[in-house]
A and B are shown apart, each in its own frame.
Chain A
Amino acid sequence: MSSIGTGYDLAASTFSPDGRIFQVEYAQKAVDNAGTMIAIRGKNGIVMVADKVISSKLYTDNANPRMFNVNDNVGVGVSGNYPDGFSLKNYAYGEAMKWLKDYREPMPVQNIANAVAEYIHIHTLGISRPFGAGAYFISWNKQTGGRLFLVEPSGLNYEYKAWAVGKHRQAAKAEIEKLKIDELDVQQLVKEAARIIMAVRDENKDKNVQIEMGWVGEHTDGKYEEVPSEVVTAAEEWATAKLDEDDMED
């Protein structure tokens, strides 16, 4: 980025001479430097996994969760700057509530993702700073199957089969690509997702980390839920064993 410090990167309302908006790129950095977060769509459901740093043992269990319900059917997972992400979650929740009031039915995941993307985009025009957070939105039902969206700090909103954001996103994406994700059921997804998160960790730097998971699928009857801690623990144990096994082979 040779244009750093030339004065074209101090406001979201400023284009650089080569047509870039640096403030939005810098906001994306806040997501890129945060803990890895992946989401995978399998045969009969979707799993979201985040790697969280527990910076003090004085925290209570599951302090600062990154995954929430937007409504009964849709889950949101926020990555990047935590307070910004929380604010996005709050906006999504408010929009879903308005939809329910107006139409008397739950807001579909695509509409939620679009609404949030629009809101994020407004913040890239320069009145305030862009959000330093991104958000996954996931849902599953019999008619549409699983759907997974990611909204970025730029306001871009794409649907994915699987994706990774955060510190080790490249390595995580490479790992995901090795899997035949369309054939995996939710139980297998949970294990593989835990394995990927643990495999891409930097052993020297990533200390005091904890996995948080959320899922939705046929097994939850299309309701988004936080994955029970015993399932997460079992997945971590499986993943540790699997990683050790792989190390032995090398």
Chain B
Amino acid sequence: MFRNQYDSDVTVWSPQGRLHQVEYAVEAMKQGSATVGIKSDTHAVIVALKRAQNELSSHQKKIYEIDVHAGVSIAGLLSDGRILARFLQTECSSWRWDYKQPVPIKKLAEAMQLKLQANTQYYGRRPFGVGILIAGYDKDGAHIIQTDPSAEVVSMHGTSIGARSQSARTYLERNVDKFEKCKTSCLISVFHLFILASPEELIVHALLALRDTLPAEENLSAQNTSIGIVGKDSPFSLLEDAQVSVHLNSVSTHPRTTAQAQGGGAEPMQM
């Protein structure tokens, strides 16, 4: 469907100055189940949707702690993602060894970008088929970093990657707009809503955004949802199963935003 003679290798430029192999790798990321990351002034939250191969298997791990002050979530080829998570863990620990300090998230993002870029230029290795969200807290505050296989690495207020992630990004953007309308005089930031949000509110926003990536017949559950949170005076913690249920309860009171096939409205959570 996309085939042309310039798409067989990462080391080939198309006549238009594009890298087709790299663009295809980005498609791999878009097929993985979604993950959402948002931040406030003091906290960064990542939530992810896990898939299970079949009913008998466990759900695939999507969120990794990489240091006391940072964690990552993955969308795309999860085995590629695990390699990158390990890479970041090593970066974190070697920085600690060298400087006796936690690594600044910016430095982590730069190291990540250089590693990803190399795989888009040198023969013999394919690009990583995975996108990663890094959530971290350092001396400059909370951070959400988005990465993709084309080595675009960018700092965000909030974002989502993976399957149907556009719906989640729409949720995040739409909630900004709502807020802008009721407080047009607010000059501090259009992201006031998230900036002042408590950690619990932040998790709810992230879960609501994540829920928008699901088709109508599916819903978030304690089994298929992971939450990672890090912030001021609170080390990175990965919430799973029972700890997730608590937050899902507060989400279930919100009606589904997109008009769903079967009446929409507040569906009970599958726990």
Contact = CB atoms under 8 A, between A and B. Distances in A.
B121 A129 contact: yes
A10 B12 CA distance: 6
Interface stretch (A79-87, A203-211, A241-249): A79-87
B190 A57 contact: yes
A81 B176 CA distance: 30
Interface stretch (A29-37, A139-147, A184-192): A29-37
Contact of A129 (B10, B110, B116): B10
Q: What is the interface residue range for chain A against chain B?
A: 35 or more
B226 interface: no
A182 to B, nearest CB: 34
A45 to B, nearest CB: 28
Contacts of B176: 57
Contacts of A63: 154-156
Contacts, number: 99
A23 interface: yes
Interface in A19-33: 22-23, 26-33
Interface string B160-204: 000000000100110010000000000000100000000000000
Contact of A128 (B17, B110, B116, B121): B121
A12 B123 CA distance: 12
Given A26-B15, A129-B10, A56 B123 contact: no
Interface residues of B, number: 37
Contacts of B155: 59-60, 63
A58 B168 CA distance: 12
A83 B123 CA distance: 17
B178 to A, nearest CB: 14
A57 B174 CA distance: 11
Contacts of B114: 86-87, 90
Contacts of A11: 11-12
Given A56-B169, A82-B152, A83-B120, A1 B15 contact: yes
Nearest to A28: B17
Interface string B10-33: 111111111100000000000000
A75 interface: no
B122 interface: yes
Contact of A132 (B17, B118, B190): B17
A9 interface: yes
A93 to B, nearest CB: 10
Contacts of A12: 11
Interface string A199-242: 00000000000000000000000000000000000000000000
A10 B6 contact: yes
Nearest to B159: A58
Query: Closest 5 interchain pairs by CB?
Result: A29-B17, A83-B151, A26-B13, A30-B17, A129-B11
8 contacts: A1-B15, A10-B5, A30-B18, A57-B190, A58-B173, A87-B114, A128-B121, A129-B121
